[in-house]
Structure 1
Amino acid sequence: MKITNLPAMGLCCIILCAFGPAKANTTMDTLSNKQKVLSFYKLIVGQRKAELIPEFVLENYRQHNPKAPQGRAGITGMINYLKTLPLPPEGAKSPIIRTIQEGNMVVTHLDIQFMGKRMVVIDLFELENGMLAGHWDAIQEVPDQTGLTITASNGTAEIDTTASAENSKQIVNAFYQAILDKKMPAELLKVDYTEHDPAVTATGKALDEYLLTDHNRDIKIHRVIAEGDFVVVQSQFKRGGKGFVFYQIFRVEGGKIAEHWSVEQAVPEGVEVGDMF
């Protein structure tokens, strides 16, 4: 998918609204990193309060896309652009489906509608001393899934905070190590696991077989982030000589992978894959 006429922070920012789940608060030191990111979405992106940007964003804020406007000035430019667009309708449903935090890293998973198209988005923010310091993302258009029981973004959203994040991460790491070793880690997938990736479900294959046989992906993992029973993998791969950024969300249950979502996006022309990370 090629997006040429929108600020590069992420398409999700165009229609984020002043949604209820985020606890808006400008007393930054009283909020968790997750709450800070949600408040940033609500107050600055949703409500266009550009005057609050210095409370949330570092001066040298980095967009991990060389073609994106950099720094706090880049965010300010984006918000000024948003001010030229209509505000979302009051009471509109939040596009943020799930939010996952480990330390200074916060991941959001979004489902948005834009210009008649449906997009799934994963945003990854890095915070330093409670301020937004960096951002990565991937945006993918998905087919119409009206009426389907399982879609690209639905399913479990609440994190089981009693689950061990380290154990969840170990299971996903073991799954990926098997994939990298070109082995079939079927024992790490629940027999009745739920697959949300339309590209995988269209093949009729389970995730392990899909990753091993469909594209012969040369996968490189950059980050693994976990909270409770949820694990996010940030990686890259190549298909037909083209580089892609690839984000996956796993939910672990009973020592196995129980649910899976993903978002992939081609690296923009003229950009090296490594520069996206």
Structure 2
Amino acid sequence: MTAKLDSALGLYLEGIRDGHIERALDRYTGDRYIQHSTGVADGKEGFRAFFASFLARNPQREIEVVRAIEDGPYVFLHVTQTLGGSTRWVTADLFDTDENDRIVEHWDTIVQGGLTTPSGHTQTDGETRVTDLERTEENKARVAEFVAVVLQGGETGRIGEFVSADSYVQHSPHVADGIEGFTAFTAGLAAEGKALTYGKVHRLIGQGNFVVTLSEADWGGTPMAVFDIFRLENGLVVEHWDNAEPIPTAAEASNSGKF
């Protein structure tokens, strides 16, 4: 385990799951801590204030880190949380670290958990192994092109250039497997006047066969912050997870915003 991954896991598991807020902040955060999580103020004091209340409200906490991806100073975690034995959440968390591998900035999205896709998958099951490290930059470039052409450019007819026609496993709760599932979903949204259009990509990181993007999107008039997780084989996307949360207005934000 690298030191930066240890910092991300420590803040999450020691600080939030186990409730050792002060120890986790001292061990795993740097001199500054910029926060983009909805409802949490900047700085260690913001983390401390929010999670002191969170721990009091949720004395029973189960947290599992399902996926961990590293790229340069960045660490991404795909996490499930069960609070009070029944309330489920799925979170996507991106951490930036300093020269000492301590956390200095954090972005996330949080969605309801426990949902299944039309094809019977959960929001977090599927492959977790990081492989093909030698293809990291190639896979990042492929995903960047896919986002530009299909998600931002709307050229859905070209999806076969980027997504496997033989095996495309979809973990987004509203989308069935395969290219056909994706095209049916986008066509259905357009017919309802709720098209999903992607804007700026704020972060793109990758490690081997996994690539993660953090983007702005518009879903039927609602601004969204979206994490997309892609798994690739031989240059094609074969599996996809996402996590999308509405972007708060400036008046609603407790910090500098989602990005």
- TM-score w.r.t. structure 2 length? 0.81
Q: Does 1:154 align with 2:125?
A: yes
Q: Does 1:62 align with 2:34?
A: yes
Q: Does 1:276 align with 2:248?
A: no
Q: Cα deviation per residue 1:34-84 (whole Å; 9 max; x = unaligned)?
A: 122112222222222234222211343111257422101122223433553
Which residue is 1:32 aligned to?
3
Name stretches of at least 5 consecutive residues in structure 1 with no aligned partner: 1-22, 24-30
Deviation at 1:187, TM superposition (A): 2.4
| Aligned equivalents of 2:41, 2:144: Cα separation in 1 | 34
Aligned residues: percent identity?
A: 23
The 1:99/1:194 distance shift into structure 2, 3 A limit, reads: same
| Aligned equivalents of 2:51, 2:112: Cα separation in 1 | 23
Q: Does 1:217 align with 2:199?
A: no
Moved over 6 A (4+): none
| Aligned equivalents of 1:202, 1:189: Cα separation in 2 | 11
Deviation at 1:241, TM superposition (A): 2.4
Name stretches of at least 5 consecutive residues in structure 2 with no aligned partner: none
Deviation at 1:200, TM superposition (A): 1.7
- TM-score w.r.t. structure 1 length? 0.77
Greater mean alpha carbon deviation, residues 124-133 or residues 32-41: 32-41
Deviation at 1:99, TM superposition (A): 0.7
Structure 2 contact 71–205 (Cα < 8 Å) conserved: yes
| Aligned equivalents of 1:118, 1:66: Cα separation in 2 | 18
Counterpart pick for 1:97 among 32, 57, 66: 66
SS of equivalent residue, structure 2 residue 176: helix
Deviation at 1:205, TM superposition (A): 3.9
Q: Does 1:121 align with 2:94?
A: no
The 1:104/1:204 distance shift into structure 2, 3 A limit, reads: closer
Aligned length in residues: 242
Deviation at 1:33, TM superposition (A): 1.1
SS of equivalent residue, structure 1 residue 225: strand
Structure 1 contact 182–212 (Cα < 8 Å) conserved: no
Matches within 5 A, 1:37-186: 37-52=8-23, 53-65=25-37, 67-84=39-56, 85-86=58-59, 88=61, 94-114=63-83, 116-129=86-99, 130-142=101-113, 144-145=115-116, 149-179=120-150, 180-183=152-155, 184=157, 185-186=159-160
Matches within 5 A, 1:7-22: none
Which residue is 1:28 aligned to?
none
| Aligned equivalents of 2:115, 2:127: Cα separation in 1 | 20
Q: Cα deviation per residue 1:207-229 (whole Å; 9 max; x = unaligned)?
A: 36645773433312111110110
The 1:249/1:268 distance shift into structure 2, 3 A limit, reads: same
| Aligned equivalents of 1:159, 1:211: Cα separation in 2 | 29
